[in-house]
């Protein structure tokens, strides 16, 4: 079977080559925080916002992410961020001011 470009043939875990990390490290660490836009009045609840849920989710975008970014920068750790597109539509200037885009 021909696979689409960029895909790999099936390989069971016991037939795969051993991965060698730089400096013979035994573990690879990947930091990938998630940022999503959350509606204050979602379509399924247009007359009653879920304030506790919204505030918890929005705290991560407004405060938690930026604090985590400061810690990552302090320790010179690289990360990639998983975003949904709507958050970029609404917060792009903040990312540009910080030099993240």
Round to whole Å and give the CA distance between 25 and 20.
8
pLDDT, residue 74, reads: 96
When pLDDT is averaged across residues 18-42 and rounded to a whole number, the result is 86
pLDDT digits (tens, 9 = 90+) for 56-67: 888 888 898 889
Residue in 29, 18, 40, 24 with CA at minimum distance from that of residue 75: 29
Q: Say yes or no to pLDDT of 3 above 80.
A: no
| pTM recorded for the entire structure | 0.63
When pLDDT is averaged across residues 16-31 and rounded to a whole number, the result is 87
Find out whether 83 and 32 touch, Cβ atoms under 8 Å.
no
- Each domain of the chain, given as residue ranges in start order, spans 30-37+50-101
pLDDT digits (tens, 9 = 90+) for 68-77: 989 999 999 9
């Amino acid at each position: 079977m021909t696979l689409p470009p960029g895909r790999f043939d099936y390989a069971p875990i016991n037939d795969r080559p051993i991965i060698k990390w730089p400096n013979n490290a035994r573990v690879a660490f990947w930091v990938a925080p998630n940022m999503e836009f959350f509606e204050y009045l979602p379509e399924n609840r247009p007359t009653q916002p879920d304030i506790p849920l919204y505030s918890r989710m929005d705290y991560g975008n407004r405060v938690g992410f930026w604090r985590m970014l400061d810690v990552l920068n302090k320790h010179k750790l690289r990360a990639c961020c998983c975003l949904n597109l709507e958050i970029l539509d609404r917060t792009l200037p903040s990312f540009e001011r910080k030099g993240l885009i």
